[in-house]
Structure 1
């Protein structure tokens, strides 16, 4: 368990280190960090070491043992239900828009843009599937895209352009440089 007074010291040392790195462009020495944080070099060393120690997900948080560190972390292996719902709605809307096309146009668009199986087929590959030339596939694709660009159809998908489909995962910066090196 990290003592409450050390959390404040760790925060000060981390902030001082980040500020000095931004100002100087390299890692400060332990003494420089301690001076900037307003703590002794021993306290700074202890805070730095505690920052690098692994934490147990079962570690109690706060004054009471009713909540644990792991409860506050998002599991990035699990899909966000809102993201899943958004993706399914997009698939449904795309299927609805594509239904305005004839079978050949719809399948060419699905294959060329990877909507069928995640693989975007080349003109040559699609041509072999439909027993037509690359040029004919390109012509059919261009005609289908023009149909899809009609305002009535494109409006059905416009709401998906205003927000990202994938929420970026904020990466924690990893600093492996030893202290005091420039």
Structure 2
């Protein structure tokens, strides 16, 4: 039952042995909190669990729950977290408008040439050619 819960409980699957380590870390963390009256540092957890500190930090990172991009932000709940994350691959509206204007100007100029001249310029500069 425990293995099934570990396999299916999270949005992103974490291996069972890591779930067991996370549970052990949480248990030791609670014990140290009761003992010291404050949250334990990774160094203290490392000493108590007899594990390297970098592994403790790794387990702590893995134990964090993912946040949905649809999580409401603010009091009005009209906007979500995804609305505030920048897409670095998207073309900005200004750049897109500029490129469209240049494309239209180029087409207008090429329309004023003879078909042969327009073809030569298109082939020479790769105008209207699909490049992957």
Q: What TM bracket, shorter-length normalisation?
A: 0.3 to 0.5
Q: What TM-score results when the alignment is normalised by the length of structure 2?
A: 0.40
- Larger RCO: 1 or 2 (CA < 8 Å, sep 6+): 1
Q: What TM-score results when the alignment is normalised by the length of structure 1?
A: 0.31
